[in-house]
Copies of this chain bind each other. A is one copy, B any other.
Amino acid sequence: MKLPGLITDPNTLAGLSHDEAEWAPAGTPYAAFRPQSTEDVQQAVKACAEHNVPIVPRGAGTGLSGGANATDGCLVLDLSRMDRILEIDRDNLLAVVQPGVVNDDLKKAVAAQGLWYPPDPASSPWSTIGGNVATNAGGLCCLKYGVTRDYVLGLEAVLGGPVPYGTAVQLGRRTTKGVAGYDLTSLLVGSEGTLGVVTEITVRLRPAPRPAGTVVGAFDSLVAAGQAVALSTSRGLQPAALELIDRACLQAVEDWKHLGIEPDTEAMLLARAETPEDADGLVAAFTDAGAVWTERSTDSTEAEALFAARRLTYPALERLGPLLTEDVCVPRSAVPAMLARIEEIGARHQVRIATIAHAGDGNLHPLLITPPGDDNARIAAQAAFEDIIDQALALGGTVTGEHGVGLLKRDGMIRELGPGAHAVQQAIKQTLDPLNLFNPGKA
């Protein structure tokens, strides 16, 4: 296959062959390619179609589901060099970016013009907008401000199937509203690279966020914290973030970074309130659910330290051993029940589970920690992983709130969708990618 600058060095390829998911299988690529432009992507897709070489697109590789893991003989399409912000249109509150732009870089660039790009996955210092689009990434503030899909107005994508492989197609629009034709933009967002390669993204922006106060609550049980979340929702409060962190997470961050957090309780809730009414309401809800203590703060230093701890949880726990990361999402009223079932599953399988959660959304990230190199622990953790998925589905939930299906949750997804919806999914994949070239075997 002839492409200028094709990478075949085995060490480089090894680094580009997987994302951050533990124990997800990764194959050996045929080569990697770093496009600089849409034309480069078109050329690569055309060449792959001619030679029947599968294409695995990737951004920064921060995924947690194996969605960017190589398959044997594939071309890894590393989009991280397509990292230009092409336009910031202040008058129309939108930006046009290449897929390799890092989330925080976009945030900074638009903030300089008094604007805001809300989606804020914990990986935002490293993850790319293209990767965020592929997984429909969420984050902390999506509780009030929505997920990536809510901010994608339009896409340019290199497709195959109904058009010749390698055709660049414009989807969506630059207007705030529009209903001409099927919503192919939303179809591609969250499709994990299985329907084509996104080469340009038009995102909706918002005016700069309002200053927010922080409300913290400490609880002597996970379930009590879950009840505080359920109460906040049923009382109609609208925090901009409502995060749960358990003792294991806080301890790991403190041991690593010495931020001065005293993890003397079982669970903490951390909320951003944009109005005094919401702040009052959160304090009341936390108290009524049995909080050991609550604290309101408009001191952004203290608040930022706690939110920083939340963001550091994942790397802090990774130091303890390989992590299996769940991403279940349950109806918000089921958060207390789900937290209880996670504790029960951890005890039954003797697996150490630390839980962080976008609790206001019902999106829980139980992190299954295993001592390095312990095969029995790995097997127990994998069994616990499937049990948690089953319990989330039993409570009316979903296997993945924001990380994507990738390789780790394919069985869970099929259990969730049911045969009818799964058949429709497969038919759409077959129509848009009849050669099964785009990230085969994923999602």
**Known contacts A91-B233, A424-B159; is A187 also within 8 Å of B181 by CB?**
no
**A21-29, A52-60, A249-257, A392-400: which lies at the B interface?**
A392-400
A428 nearest CB neighbor, chain B only: B182
Q: Given A169-B421, A176-B361, is A234 in contact with B183 using a C-beta cutoff of 8 Å? A: no
Is A186 on the interface with B (CB-CB < 8 A)?
A: yes
Closest to A180 in B: B413
Question: Cβ of A179 and Cβ of B400 under 8 Å apart?
Answer: yes
Give the contacts of A132-167 with B (CB-CB under 8 A). 135-136, 138, 142-143, 146-147, 149-150, 159, 161-163, 167
- Complex-state Cα separation, A400 to B236, whole angstroms: 34
- Of A218-226, A297-305, A325-333, A377-385, the stretch lying at the interface with chain B is A325-333
Question: Given A329-B176, A418-B170, is A181 in contact with B425 using a C-beta cutoff of 8 Å?
Answer: yes
Q: Would you call A401 an interface residue if the criterion is a C-beta within 8 Å of the partner chain's C-beta atoms?
A: yes
Contact of A401 among B177, B358, B428, B431 (CB under 8 A): B177
Question: In the complex, A187→B182 CA distance in Å?
Answer: 6
Q: If the complex has contacts A238-B207, A409-B180, are A167 and B420 also in contact, measured as CB distance less than 8 A? A: yes
* A396 partner residues in chain B, CB cutoff 8 A: 174-175
* Cβ contact within 8 Å between B175 and A398: yes
**Residues of chain B contacted by A6 (CB below 8 angstroms):** none
Nearest CB in chain B to that of A184: its residue: B424
Q: Please determine whether B142 and A179 come into contact, CB atoms closer than 8 angstroms.
A: no
Closest chain-B Cβ to A401's Cβ sits at a distance in Å of 4
Are A180 and B417 in touch, CB under 8 angstroms? yes
Whether A189 and B178, one on each chain, are in contact in the complex, defined by CB atoms closer than 8 angstroms, is no
Residue with the highest number of chain B CB atoms closer than 10 Å, among A147, A184, A237? A184
Is B186 within 8 A of A179, CB to CB? no
Indicate if the CB atoms of B425 and A184 lie closer than 8 Å. yes
CA gap between A430 and B178 in the complex, in Å: 23
Chain B nearest CB, measured from A138 CB (Å) = 6
A238 to B206, CA, bound (A): 9
Whether B92 lies near A233 (C-beta < 8 A) is: yes
Residue in A179, A186, A404 with the greatest tally of chain B CB atoms within 10 Å: A179
The yes or no answer to A190 lying at the interface (CB within 8 A) is yes
Q: Nearest Cβ distance between residue A253 and chain B, in whole angstroms?
A: 24
The residues of B that contact A90 with a CB separation of less than 8 Å are 234
Q: Does A405 contact B (CB under 8 A)?
A: yes
Residues of B within 8 A of A34 (CB): none
Once A179-B403, A179-B404, A190-B183 are accepted as A-B contacts, the answer to whether A92 and B420 lie under 8 Å apart by CB is: no
**A339 to chain B: closest CB distance in Å?**
15
* Chain B residues positioned under 8 Å from A400 (CB to CB): 178-180
Kindly provide the distance from the CB of A236 to the nearest chain B CB, expressed in whole angstroms.
3
Report 18 cross-chain contacts, Cβ distance below 8 Å, ordered by A residue.
A89-B331, A91-B331, A135-B179, A168-B420, A169-B418, A174-B331, A175-B361, A175-B396, A175-B398, A176-B329, A177-B361, A177-B398, A179-B190, A179-B401, A181-B413, A181-B417, A428-B431, A430-B431
List 10 additional A-B contacts (Cβ < 8 Å) besides A171-B421, A186-B186: A91-B333, A92-B233, A136-B183, A142-B177, A179-B398, A179-B402, A180-B405, A183-B187, A207-B237, A430-B431
Closest A-B pairs by Cβ, 4 of them: A207-B236, A162-B427, A186-B186, A91-B333
